[in-house]
Amino acid sequence: MRIRKLRISLIFIFSLVILGSIGLRPALGLGKRVPSNNKTKDLGHLSPKNPMAFEYFSIATASLNGKDFTVILKDPRRQMSHARVSPDGKWITFTRFNKIDPKKGVAVEDENDYSQTEIMVCRIDGSDIKSIVPPKKGLANCNSYWSPDGKSLIHISTDNDKKKGRIYITDIATGKRTRVPTPEGIDAADPYTNGETVVFPGRQAGPGGHVIHIMKANGSGHRRLSSVPQAKSKGEYDPKISPDKSKVAFMRFGKKGQKGDVHIIVTDIKTGEEKDLSIPRNDNWDAMPEWSSDGKLLVFWHVNRPDVLKSGIYTIRADGKDRKMIPLPFDHQYTIPSFVPGTGSGNDAKIIFTAKRFPVAIRNKLENLKKKQFRL
């Protein structure tokens, strides 16, 4: 099953990039609410079955100034990703992986495989966890995003007669699923809607990768937004419409695909004019941009292969200026950030993101790198 050939292995590869840079190779790691007095057993010690595992896989929140870092959910075995907060700020939706690799002992996003994923919701404090679209063997239900009224979720599912990526809207209260009408033959991924417009990566039969498409919520007015023809595309994913409805931000793989650049692109919806916000160099990965509620900033996660201490979550303006790293604790690996709706773009604005806590051995190596750089 293939939802997207390049995009879905990005997080796993990111783990290898970071840990490979410091001489370690990870084995990645039941979502449950984290009690205030919880003391998690360190799962990172060496063992024959799990030689270098993360302590846990989690969803966390923080302010843009790096303060108030809080783990909401943690799971030593199942990866959770694509966490997004509801418009009223009270709930979270996220994707959870359930296909346990018998060799690794964990369920983790792997290349070309989103099978047995499910779409979850919980309260902002991690309580009342519910499965809105349960997992099914061999099928994907993933990458959910809130509707503007907070009553339903737009998402991808391969639970259809073609077993291809199709866009659906699922009502949270009733579980009723409605398909969003995309053009026939398009394999879709990563949908987003502001209620009026839908943007998504799509790929038709033939060479090339996914490119960004745009249409009205009822399926009319469909067109390709990307300037890159599908045949020449290495993959474009995770598009988001700006709050003022004028632009779309997304990530684009470069000439060498997974081994090359991943850049943030901002496109004007009316004119098609594109702006590349990323640094023009190889091995620079800027992934999965998300708008602040006031449209002033984009938050994204960055991979810096030459300098792992510069990898993490960043913000940038839509004109490419004021690129800043959010100062989060060095004992975690961070990916897939999103702004909490309505919190703006100031230092006290809130973000939510994936956080994997490194085992002791990796934390010690990172600390030594920090000390070495400080001396230099």
| pLDDT for res 156 | 97
Mean pLDDT of the residues in the chain: 84
User: Average pLDDT for residues 50-69, to the nearest whole number?
Assistant: 84
Q: Which of 267, 81, 242, 93 is nearest to 169 (CA)?
A: 93
CATH code: domain 7-375 is: 2.120.10.30
Q: Which residue has the higher pLDDT, 96 or 9?
A: 96
Calpha distance 165→152 (Å, rounded): 19
Residue 204 DSSP SS3:
coil
Q: Which residue has the higher pLDDT, 37 or 370?
A: 370
Calpha distance 45→47 (Å, rounded): 6
User: Average pLDDT for residues 248-262, to the nearest whole number?
Assistant: 77
Contacts of 67 (CB under 8 A, 6+ apart): none
User: Average pLDDT for residues 120-139, to the nearest whole number?
Assistant: 96
pTM of structure: 0.87
Confidence of residue 48 (pLDDT cuts 50, 70, 90): very low
Listed in order, strand segments (DSSP E) in 242-323 are: 247-254, 257-268, 274-276, 284-291, 298-304, 312-316
175-227 residue pLDDT tens: 999 999 999 999 999 999 999 999 999 999 999 999 999 999 999 999 999 99
| pLDDT for res 16 | 43
